[in-house]
Structure 1
Amino acid sequence: MTGQQADDVVTAAFLVIGDEILSGRTKDKNIGFVADYMTSIGIDLKEARIVPDETDEIVNAINALRAKYTYVFTSGGIGPTHDDITAESIAKAFGVPLNLDPRAVALLESHYAPGQFTPARQRMARIPEGAELIENKVSKAPGFKIGNVHVMAGVPSIMQAMMDAIAPTLTTGKKMMSETVSADMPESRIAERLSAIQDAHPQTLIGSYPKASEGKFTTQIVIRSRDEDVLLAATKDVAQAVAELSG
Structure 2
Amino acid sequence: MSNPTVRAIVTDIEGTTTDINFVHKVLFPYAHSKLPDFLRANASTPAVAEQLNAVRHAMGSPDAALDVVIDQLLHWIETDQKVTPLKALQGMVWADGYQRGDFTGHLYDDVAPVLRQWKASGKALYVYSSGSVQAQKLLFGHSDEGDLTPLFSGYFDTHIGHKRDATSYQRIIAALDLSPDAVLFLSDVEEELDAASQAGMQTLQLVREGTQAGTTHACVTRFDEIVL
TM-score, length of structure 1 as denominator length? 0.29
Higher share of residues assigned helix:
2
Q: Which of 1 and 2 has higher RCO (CA within 8 Å, sep 6+)? A: 2
Larger Rg: 1
